[in-house]
Amino acid sequence: MSPTITSISPTAGPTAGGNSVTITGTGFTGPATVRFGGTATTFTIDSTTQITAIAPAGTGAVQVTVTTPAGVSNGVAYTYSGTPSLTAVSPNHGPVSGGSTVTLTGTNLAGATAVTFGTTATASFTVVSATQITATAPAGTGAVQITVTTPSGVSNGVAYTYIAAPSLTGVSPNSGPAAGGTTVTLTGTNLAAATAVTFGTTATASFTVVSATQITATAPAGTGAVQITVTTPSGVSNAVSYTYIAAPSLTGVSPNSGPAAGGTTVTLTGTNLAAATAVTFGTTTASFTVVSATQITATAPAGTGAVQITVTTPSGVSNAVSYTYAAVPSLTGVSPNQGPTSGGNTVTLTGTNLTGATAVTFGTTTAASFIVVSATQITVVVPVGGAGAVGVTVVTPGGASTLPSCYFYLNVPVLTGAAPGSGPLAGGNTVTLTGTNLAAATAVTFGTTTASFTVVSATQITATAPAGTGTVQITVTTPGGVSNAVSYTYLMAPAITGLSPNQGPVTAGNTVTITGTNLAQTTTVLFGTTPAAFTVVSNSQIVTIAPAGAAGPANLTVTTPGGTSTAATYTRVAPPTI
């Protein structure tokens, strides 16, 4: 019976031949010939069912046959193929733990029997075509050569690198605006093969591998705190924190002005201020302290005019709030420049750069109430103070100005007496007022009527009584206040209605009773021009002693503070002659 071939192994080999091919089948006995195509080759009959043959050189696909005295066997295909060749591997790196799917490209890969990473054959590979194999990388370390083995031989090697998993150790800056766009520097190890940088769940669209220890990435938009990771073919790194911060916003500044020399402590309020990196007054940066996410205290630098304050954080630049550099004030006048120790009077201050005044001080006492009328004028209610001269100070955001010893606190005037204490209804008489603190008198008043007056000294004033009636109160007004009152009485002029007797001797000593009205305040009784002794009995009666005088009629008058009476006639009678 003719021999039969059931299989050959391998079914392919190199064109140079020389490889062993095992032929299995039946009827392998007696003298025999083994041919690859038309070429006979050397062989060994191992048994009636197996022959080991040495493939001769050849090309293409041929039929392997066995010839025995019984006949020629069926043919089985054997293919002469070129030595495998690798041209590329993708990816060309992966984790040390293995497991990466690697695509090998090249030629003559169809009969691959092994794929080796260094000295380690992969347990899993698939021949996709004569030009492509996909293989699962085994575990390994460092750089290795990948080779493919086929019946035609072993390919050249292509480089594959085992890379340790990436690790992050730092991120700078670690915060930025919600809008993204911040350039962030990541430091760590095994970063060279990075394929992705992720902020939370968002992969950045832009990153650059600077080295195996550094990556620069552009933060995408985001909110809140997120974790940054780096992905390489070796895996995903540990995470480092990055915080998206809303842009800063300013809502207030206090104070909102200060001196051109700077140095004022300014409190800024707003939101998202915690990460402030700069505070700017106009174009000038200032020193500052972040108190909280809603407050910053800054020291104003020197400047002029109105400027805008802004705060810069990693999230951007805030809106601006206004701050004004104020000129130093200058105080030139105080009017009136004196007043009572009790205060309460209104004083007008004049000067320059008074706008924005925050305090007015008399000596060491701050006035509780003042109004800035203009840049050149302030009206202020004087506080309580002690008698004497004090300086007045105006404080503005631009500084302070003091006019020394320009305001005088005066004690309230005090009256102790008025002489005379009465006078005629028509006024015109001189009244001497005595007391203390009278030097700065501005008014003397009899009841409600002002009088002309002369300040003699701090303890005396002479005043001309105005017309009036009845009893009134005299007061003296000074910048120190209004004095206590002393009484003054307007008196009607005296009138004589009768004399008893109305005549007498030329010698002195005759008692005369004067009747009339308004006689109580009598100061003088005259017989002609000669004063007489008298006694006021009542408002309607006086008893007087007639002085000596020439015979004949004499005018008798009575004088009181209310004036002098109309004269009554008193006649002196000469004694009889013999």
Secondary structure (H, E, C), 370-425: EEEEECCEEEEECCCCCCEEEEEEEEECCEEEEEEEEEEEECCCEEEEEECCEEEC
CA distance 400 to 512: 81
Is the Cβ–Cβ distance between 375 and 362 less than 8 Å?
no
Position 558 scores a pLDDT of 98
Residue pair 288/253 in contact by the 8 Å Cβ criterion: no
Tokens encoding 36: 């690859």
* Residue 349 token pair: 């201050």
pLDDT tens series, the chain, 578 aa: 899 999 999 888 888 899 999 999 999 987 899 999 999 999 999 999 999 999 999 988 999 999 999 999 999 999 888 889 999 999 998 888 899 999 999 999 988 999 999 999 999 999 999 999 999 999 999 999 999 998 888 999 999 998 888 999 999 999 888 889 999 999 999 998 899 999 999 999 999 999 999 999 999 999 989 999 999 878 899 999 999 888 899 999 999 988 899 999 999 999 999 989 999 999 999 999 999 999 999 999 999 999 999 999 878 899 999 999 988 899 999 999 999 999 999 999 999 999 889 999 999 999 999 999 999 999 999 999 999 999 999 998 888 999 999 999 999 999 999 999 999 999 999 999 999 999 999 999 999 999 999 999 999 999 999 999 999 999 999 999 999 999 999 999 999 999 999 999 999 999 999 999 999 999 999 999 999 999 999 999 999 999 999 999 999 999 999 999 999 999 999 998 87
pLDDT of residue 316: 85
DSSP category for residue 63: E
525 in Cβ contact with 556 (< 8 Å) = yes
What gap in Å lies between CA 512 and CA 178, rounded to an integer?
120
| pLDDT on residue 51 | 94
Phi, psi values for residue 373, rounded to 5°: -80, -40
Q: What pLDDT shows up at residue 513?
A: 98
Residues contacting residue 175 through CB under 8 Å, at least 6 positions apart: 242, 243, 244, 245, 275, 314, 315
Answer positive or negative: Cα dihedral of 281, 285, 290, 292.
positive
d(CA 42, CA 201) in angstroms, rounded, equals 68
Classify burial at 23, counting beta carbons within 10 Å of its beta carbon; exposed 0-12, middle 13-18, buried 19 or more. Answer: buried
- Exposure string over 473-496, b if 16+ CB within 10 A, otherwise e: ebbbbbbbbebeebebbbbebbbb
- Residue whose structure tokens are 């924005």: 356
Describe the strand order of the beta sheet including 377-381 as a list of residue ranges.
Answer: 330-335, 346-352, 377-381, 369-374
Q: What structural domains does the chain harbor?
A: 4-81 (2.60.40.10), 85-163 (2.60.40.10), 167-245 (2.60.40.10), 249-326 (2.60.40.10), 330-407 (2.60.40.10), 414-491 (2.60.40.10), 495-573 (2.60.40.10)
Residue 189, class by beta-carbon neighbours within 10 Å (0-12 exposed, 13-18 middle, 19+ buried)? middle
What pLDDT is stored for residue 545 in this prediction?
Answer: 98
What's the predicted TM-score (pTM) here?
Answer: 0.50
